[in-house]
Chain A
Amino acid sequence: MCTYLTEVVELQGSGKGPEGWFPVTTASVYFDHPVHAPAEHTLNVDLLNPALGAGARVAMELDPSAARALATAILEVLGSAPAAVLTQPRQVRT
């Protein structure tokens, strides 16, 4: 099925794509047909920077249980990190 459902998250960070590292500004999260994974449907995450073009993309296609495990791991790691280091990234002026 095509779920057509996409969650879009604005974010700040970096990703490494085919052309190397780039600033990530957006994430798309959706459950739909994968391009590569051997499954009918996967939880897909695209880390994007639309301003740099469609190729500025880090893509993941995850089995649903793997996606949940990853989400849980992210939350657990963040939950156990010292509060003092969980601040907003410092803006660097160049």
Chain B
Amino acid sequence: MSDAMRAETVRITGHGGDEIEAYLAQPLDDARHGGVVVIHHMPGYDAATKEITRKFAANGYLAICPNLYSREAPGASPDDAAAAARANGGVPDERLVGDVAGAVAALKVLPGSNGKAATIGYCSGGRQSFLAACSLPLDAAVDCYGAFVVGTPPEGAPLKVGPIVHLAKDLSCPLLGLFGAEDKFPSPEQVAELEQALKDSDKSYEFHTYDGAGHAFFAPDRPSYRPEAANDGWQRIWAFLGRHLAS
């Protein structure tokens, strides 16, 4: 089996027909692969998220990360773009769904696609992964410590985000949730509320909450990194996607 891959910046059609930037990584073999849309965290379309995108390709998936800040700051460095997007109030939910839909479509037209697609997101991207899975027909979704699926941002917060737990009834696919027991956004209580909503709607889900881990435990370049939680989390992700994105 070949381990060659190709990773590069591409242009895709996002929400409203806008052309946006994306990072595409794909295995270079003749097999058919499931697709994964990687939704970046608030710090943006950065080197760490591109590395995650390549990790999915290295593990046999077509992977694409749309730059959700393409419109606010075309060509800007990721940290400047993230600051501009934050100052503008963040990414509107409707636009996020449109951009993810465009990313899914871009994956499915690749010659190596098996026609299946999932989303995964970290931090704010975790909420957006859940949002996409409640808004689009997907085969699987992964929510890594997404804040404000349940709960409301502090009063006065300028970001255009609100609770979306009420969308659980519309979830189109199985959901894997990976959380830290010491996280405050989302807190274990908020994770429990999301779990109850999924139960009430008879949805398929798998949640794991790690003791000794807080927010962003997957991020190896941050002090929040917790290798035991991250390593187990990656194993859960590979098993979950292996079940739901197989040809």
Residues of A within 8 A of B (CB): 1-6, 8, 26, 28, 30, 32-33, 35, 38-40, 46, 48, 50, 53-55, 57, 59
Q: How distant is the Cα of A38 from the Cα of B223 in the complex, in angstroms? A: 7
Asked whether, in the complex, the Cβ of B156 is within 8 Å of the Cβ of A59, the reply is no
Asked whether, in the complex, the Cβ of A5 is within 8 Å of the Cβ of B87, the reply is no
Starting from the known contacts A46-B83, A55-B76, 9 additional A-B residue pairs (CB-CB under 8 Å) come to A1-B214, A2-B42, A6-B158, A8-B87, A26-B87, A35-B46, A54-B76, A59-B80, A59-B83
Asked whether, in the complex, the Cβ of B79 is within 8 Å of the Cβ of A59, the reply is yes
Asked whether, in the complex, the Cβ of B224 is within 8 Å of the Cβ of A40, the reply is yes
Partner of B83, one of A33, A38, A39, A57: A57
Interface residues of B in 82-96 (CB under 8 A from A): 82-84, 86-87, 90
Interface residues of B in 218-247 (CB under 8 A from A): 222-224
Number of A-B contacts (CB under 8 A): 84
Asked whether, in the complex, the Cβ of B154 is within 8 Å of the Cβ of A46, the reply is no
Q: How distant is the Cα of A6 from the Cα of B82 in the complex, in angstroms? A: 13
Q: How distant is the Cα of A53 from the Cα of B185 in the complex, in angstroms? A: 31
Q: Give the residues in chain B near A3, CB-CB below 8 Å.
A: 154, 185
Asked whether, in the complex, the Cβ of B80 is within 8 Å of the Cβ of A4, the reply is no
Partner of B124, one of A2, A5, A26: A2
